[in-house]
């Protein structure tokens, strides 16, 4: 049997090959290494990351030599490289696909499902993103970043636009939109802090919350936006979720409510969020993701005094990416042993 691995500038093919060698795939006669912009620096590679996140696997260049390599491949493992319809079509023997990242924008899921292939992925930075999400909740609701900026600018600022609503997190209700792996880690942290949690996710089996011992109230998306003090977004961008959060939902929010987004910018309609913040329809927002990165000069986001922004760093810890291939190894081996996985997408 043959496995094909695709390395890139962040996850080298040698590391991925080592992890695949520890998978219980049976007797592998060959692990073929393919490269996708592996010679770039992390900063140079960022442009290709943004392209594939925005346009998907069919609109970017596929790895050189991949179609030939896949002709007799049984397994395909990658990180950020595109997994396109043409790649899947060229691999008639393929038994499984795996990627060592949480997002699936680089994979043509329709082509995967048409072939009924098991597709496994890992949330390599789930813990860092969950931690960062709570950090943004504190930073925005308690004006931590704004107070810091004021001090650095020579001001000793004590008053902020959300003064009428300031309270502790324990007094708030947090609404989670999307209760996948990261969403559930955020819920776990909120439960530990005694925070009431509402959840909207039509795709998650409610039994999972009981299995993971999570205390939540399941609500419609309208109920979450109407009743939560903080709405935190944890969805992938799909045809169903793109621009899902628009003025129709934002107008349901309380004046003292906040939006937190550590997922993807395209979940939100930018103009509707900006208008709500400019008009003080909601108290504030915190974003780790933006519609254009870096944010260009003159962008209306930069003039908002009730918005906290970070530079897409929620999952950026020293150990997240190096561990990713080995997390995938664990997920694959558990799936092969048990026949199911939370990280399986069909």
Catalytic positions, written as ranges:
264, 293, 312
> Which residues make Cβ contacts (< 8 Å) with residue 58, sequence separation at least 6?
82, 84, 85, 108
Contact 39, 65 (CB under 8 A): no
Q: What single-letter DSSP state applies at residue 304? A: -
Is the peptide bond prior to 294 cis by the omega test (within 30 degrees of 0)? yes
**How far from 22 is each of 50, 105, 231, 243, 320, CA to CA, in Å?**
31, 26, 40, 41, 19
What the block records as the tokens of 72 is: 């007799």
CA count, 13 A, side-chain hemisphere, 264? 20
**Residue 281, SS3 per DSSP:** coil
Query: Can you give the length of the chain in residues?
Result: 346
Q: What is the DSSP string of 7-60?
A: E-SSS-HHHHHHHHHTS--S--SEEEEEESSTTS-HHHHHHHHHHHHHH-TTSS
Contacts of 2 (CB under 8 A, 6+ apart): 28, 29, 30, 31, 32, 72, 73, 74, 75
């Amino acid at each position: 049997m043959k496995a094909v691995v695709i390395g890139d500038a962040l996850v080298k093919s040698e590391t991925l090959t080592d992890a695949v060698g520890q998978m219980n795939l049976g007797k592998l006669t060959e692990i073929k290494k393919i490269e996708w912009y592996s010679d770039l620096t992390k900063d140079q590679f960022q442009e290709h990351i943004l392209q594939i996140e925005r346009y998907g696997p069919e609109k970017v260049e596929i790895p050189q030599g991949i179609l030939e390599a896949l002709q007799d491949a049984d397994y395909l493992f990658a990180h950020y490289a595109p997994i396109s319809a043409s790649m899947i079509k060229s691999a008639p023997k393929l038994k499984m696909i795996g990627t060592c990242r949480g997002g699936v924008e680089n994979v043509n899921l329709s082509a995967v499902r048409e072939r009924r292939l098991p597709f496994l992925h890992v949330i390599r930075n789930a813990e860092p993103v969950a931690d960062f999400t709570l950090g943004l909740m504190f930073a925005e609701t308690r004006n931590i970043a704004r107070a810091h900026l004021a001090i650095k600018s020579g001001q000793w600022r004590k008053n902020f636009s959300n003064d009428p609503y300031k309270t502790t997190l324990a007094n708030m209700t947090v609404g989670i939109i999307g209760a996948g792996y990261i969403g559930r880690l955020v819920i776990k942290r909120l439960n530990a802090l005694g925070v009431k949690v509402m959840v909207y996710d039509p795709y998650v089996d409610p039994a999972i919350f009981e299995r993971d011992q999570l205390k939540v109230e399941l609500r419609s998306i309208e109920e979450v936006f109407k009743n939560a003090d903080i709405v935190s977004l944890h969805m992938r961008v799909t045809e169903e979720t793109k621009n899902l959060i628009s003025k129709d939902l934002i107008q349901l929010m309380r004046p003292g409510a906040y939006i937190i987004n550590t997922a993807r910018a395209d979940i939100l309609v930018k103009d509707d969020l900006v208008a709500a913040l400019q008009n003080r329809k909601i108290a504030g927002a915190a974003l780790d993701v933006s519609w254009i990165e870096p944010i260009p000069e003159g962008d209306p986001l930069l003039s908002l005094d009730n918005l906290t922004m970070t530079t897409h760093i929620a999952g950026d810890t020293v150990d997240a990416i190096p561990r990713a291939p080995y997390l995938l190894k664990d997920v694959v081996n558990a799936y092969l042993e048990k026949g199911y996985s939370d990280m399986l997408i069909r």
